[in-house]
A and B are shown apart, each in its own frame.
Chain A
């Protein structure tokens, strides 16, 4: 045991020991040491920010965005733009002759072609995902193959719009004469409470024009927050930290109201949001029914829900299926169909990896899952335009 005691005394400590008689500090160090400290902070931040901006570039502004009197924002027809979030690939957005994301024209559909119209916010638009990999790009191909006829998808999704903006686009949707309308809704679409006056006047045709977001002047504090506090290096740090499911969930559940859609029973604020959605989905379903167009509501899970779906043990009162159940109940109440995308995600282990970690939007892999779930739902024969796509029914007919 002497070996033990002797070997520990070579004094080669990694961290160094606290010396009994520390050296006196020269006067110059009273200025030098704080300066070194300050310089370290500046250099560290600059290098980290510079490197991360170089390695993880970002271009979120979509130059095709224009102000719209009805929904606040829409896109210039026949415009294209290259965008990228720090976590994803460069993506070219191509807008058709109506300003909808996609490659097919919005002109009168050709005979024999089935048309799907999609409404919603950024999730509906397939934000930061190349067209071929989006759920609606896959939908057109997969469904066209299964149905043996051309399927044209008109995507009216616009990032950052509220459910009331989506509601207001229904007349425009009806004008496209679609065979089915998909309304994609995610928990974050409901986070902002809808102003009761706006809700009451939801059928009023005009609204005050708002300045495009990109031209809004930022306060110096907000600018500091965006540039420094929420700089690229912090985003990258968050990306690597929150790739870990447990770390992400622990931090996500620190949210109060924002995360309350996961907690049961729902809070009064979330009950109010679902009540508002009930009004809006009910209104959409009525208008579409009058036009003879079926509505399918698609609840898309957030990354937190997907992470929870794969957890063996859920935190107390947390239910990742609660949001989907509430939306499904609203859809059923108004005779609209429901697409169980959350169920499809729950079948995949580590489904939280199918999202952009910090940005939170569904990435390419998750878009494939969404597409499969929607195709499966359209194949079930309940939507007349796609009833011939049901493989079982086709087999019976052949017999």
Chain B
């Protein structure tokens, strides 16, 4: 709510003038002011400021052709990130003692790396000089600071530095509000309830005395987390996309119905899209180019791709957190991607490409494939929310056979549930009005958004006022 109120105030101020200097100034002040919410001690911002300054100096050097500094700069940026984020393998004695702000550093890293790498390219179409205000607005933009999405500089600059800003009419404002309310509902209602159900299921997993309730609780604990994470993260993205539109910026989409994905490769093209796009450009593709140059045999391509996926997604896991859990999370992501790639290659070779494509159109195959993709997603995410101790307790509570049954249940419920959802969605979208599905018409959206807003407000108000007690109801 505070974030929304702050963004609302910034949006009003931002739109008082269409002048470029005003828009740049307001965005910069808003972003710096936003950081101010997290610490009132200026010293706490010194490491972040130094990180940004180093990135800016390197960017300038790259633009002036001093490319000899590229690799050392890259190493320094990555090493500083690892040090500031206190990765587990760095000796604790090396860490700074004074508390400091690292909010958004993970996303700032992507932006800084993107700027440095692309600035070095001789094909870059960027202007020779990128000013400090543009640089800070890009790296610190308060709408994308905390959790993305990761926008590319050229796209950002085309809107932020445009002499004539993007239009913001009534219809656009309505659409932006729709996104904000949808996101608010996802974060404050859906993800809240899902996390509450998951927490209750986790408690009953250990408290239940018989196998049946334990298995149900286990399936709820593991199967609900992906939905919780989706509602939470994509809800936040919806909110910032809506807010940014009021600042005359269009942020890239970060989610596209990930649970509709029929394989793990497609899943990652629909989940945290800007991260997978970034990592594809700056890690996967360069790796593949090197691999193919080194081992040019055509039959080796699936294996090379699998290896490149493993490395790439292992890094994705490492980026997510500082502990051994996240290293394993990254390993599982890479494993999922590699096995999917190898499976596709093997099936295409065994059945023939056309037959394999036809199999992909079979609804039963798709249902099972979607269920398997979801199950793998839920399985990998266990390393995202649980620690080794919790996992051991869960294994102890249900036993290995119980674990197998839980995952079988997640697969079955995931397959049928998601297939049912897809069928219902397709049925709803089949009714048209004025050339678009009725459910997407502004009349239906107005009603749906009002309902979501009302429910979300009731939940937020209830949670932020004291719980009812006996006297209130009795007197």
- Complex CA gap A8/B429 in Å reads 20
- Interface contact B269-A8, CB-CB below 8 Å: yes
Residues on A with C-beta less than 8 A from B474 are 122, 159-160, 188
- B270 beta carbon closer than 8 Å to chain A: yes
A93 to chain B, nearest CB (A): 15
A40 to chain B, nearest CB (A): 4
- Interface contact B269-A7, CB-CB below 8 Å: yes
Closest B residue by C-beta to A24? B171
- Complex CA gap A139/B400 in Å reads 47
A3-B269, A22-B171 are known contacts. Are A246 and B176 too (CB-CB below 8 A)?
A: no
Contact with A along B311-347 (1 / 0, CB 8 A): 0100000000000000000000000000000000000
Stretch of A202-210, A249-257, A271-279, A375-383 on the interface side:
A249-257
Name the contact of B172 in the complex, choosing from A18, A41, A44, A359 (C-beta under 8 A). Answer: A18
- Interface contact A258-B471, CB-CB below 8 Å: yes
- Interface contact B443-A36, CB-CB below 8 Å: yes
B7 to chain A, nearest CB (A): 16
Question: B424-475: which have CB < 8 Å to A?
Answer: 440, 442-443, 446-447, 450-451, 454-455, 458-459, 462-471, 473-475
A1-B280, A37-B447 are known contacts. Are A360 and B179 too (CB-CB below 8 A)?
A: no
Stretch of A130-138, A237-245, A322-330, A363-371 on the interface side:
A237-245
- A191 beta carbon closer than 8 Å to chain B: yes
Ordered by A's residue number, 16 sampled pairs between the chains whose C-beta atoms are within 8 Å are: A1-B285, A4-B268, A5-B269, A5-B277, A8-B270, A10-B256, A12-B256, A18-B241, A40-B454, A41-B450, A188-B469, A188-B470, A251-B465, A252-B466, A252-B467, A255-B467
- Complex CA gap A160/B171 in Å reads 55
Closest A residue by C-beta to B268? A4
Closest A residue by C-beta to B443? A36
- A269 beta carbon closer than 8 Å to chain B: no
- Interface contact A4-B265, CB-CB below 8 Å: yes
Residues on A with C-beta less than 8 A from B277 are 4-5, 8
- Complex CA gap A297/B199 in Å reads 38
Contact with B along A290-327 (1 / 0, CB 8 A): 00000000000011100000000000000000000000
Closest A residue by C-beta to B435? A23
- B288 beta carbon closer than 8 Å to chain A: yes
- Interface contact B450-A36, CB-CB below 8 Å: yes
- Interface contact A12-B285, CB-CB below 8 Å: no
Residues on A with C-beta less than 8 A from B471 are 188, 191-192, 258
Name the 9 nearest CB pairs between A and B, nearest first. A360-B470, A22-B171, A251-B467, A7-B269, A8-B269, A4-B269, A40-B450, A1-B280, A252-B467
How many B residues face the partner with a CB closer than 8 A? Answer: 67
Residues on B with C-beta less than 8 A from A8 are 256, 269-270, 273, 276-277
Q: 9 other contacts beyond A18-B176, A33-B442, with CB at 8 A cut-off?
A: A1-B308, A4-B280, A25-B174, A37-B446, A39-B447, A159-B474, A192-B471, A244-B196, A302-B470
How many A residues face the partner with a CB closer than 8 A? Answer: 65
- B405 beta carbon closer than 8 Å to chain A: no
Name the contact of A16 in the complex, choosing from B207, B280, B440, B459 (C-beta under 8 A). Answer: B440
- B152 beta carbon closer than 8 Å to chain A: no
Residues on A with C-beta less than 8 A from B305 are 1
- A17 beta carbon closer than 8 Å to chain B: yes
- B72 beta carbon closer than 8 Å to chain A: no
Contact with A along B261-298 (1 / 0, CB 8 A): 10001101110010011001000110010000000000
Residues on B with C-beta less than 8 A from A160 are 474-475
- B357 beta carbon closer than 8 Å to chain A: no
- Complex CA gap A287/B199 in Å reads 52
Name the contact of A360 in the complex, choosing from B172, B265, B469 (C-beta under 8 A). Answer: B469
Name the contact of B199 in the complex, choosing from A237, A244, A303 (C-beta under 8 A). Answer: A244
Tell me how many residue pairs across A and B have CB atoms closer than 8 Å: 173
Closest B residue by C-beta to A30? B170
- Interface contact A23-B176, CB-CB below 8 Å: no
- A182 beta carbon closer than 8 Å to chain B: no
Residues on B with C-beta less than 8 A from A12 are 256-257, 260
- Interface contact B199-A13, CB-CB below 8 Å: no
A binding-site residues for B, Cβ under 8 Å: 1, 3-8, 10, 12-20, 22-25, 29, 32-33, 36-37, 39-41, 44-45, 85, 122, 159-160, 186, 188, 191-192, 234-235, 237-238, 241-242, 244, 246-248, 250-252, 254-255, 258-259, 302-304, 349-350, 358-361
- Interface contact B467-A248, CB-CB below 8 Å: yes
Residues on A with C-beta less than 8 A from B446 are 33, 36-37, 40
- Complex CA gap A237/B192 in Å reads 13
A7-B269, A37-B450 are known contacts. Are A18 and B462 too (CB-CB below 8 A)?
A: no
Name the contact of A255 in the complex, choosing from B170, B268, B466, B475 (C-beta under 8 A). Answer: B466
Contact with A along B169-191 (1 / 0, CB 8 A): 11110111011001000000000
- Interface contact A237-B473, CB-CB below 8 Å: no
- Complex CA gap A350/B208 in Å reads 13
Residues on A with C-beta less than 8 A from B250 are 18, 20
Residues on B with C-beta less than 8 A from A252 are 466-467, 469
Residues on B with C-beta less than 8 A from A1 are 280, 284-285, 288, 305, 308-309, 312
Residues on B with C-beta less than 8 A from A255 are 466-467, 469
- B200 beta carbon closer than 8 Å to chain A: yes
A1-B288, A251-B466 are known contacts. Are A15 and B451 too (CB-CB below 8 A)?
A: no
Interface-central residue, B234, B261, B266, by most chain A CB under 10 Å: B266
- Interface contact A5-B280, CB-CB below 8 Å: yes
- Interface contact B265-A32, CB-CB below 8 Å: no
B230 to chain A, nearest CB (A): 10
- Complex CA gap A71/B172 in Å reads 64
Closest A residue by C-beta to B169? A22
Closest B residue by C-beta to A254? B466
Residues on A with C-beta less than 8 A from B63 are none
Closest B residue by C-beta to A357? B468
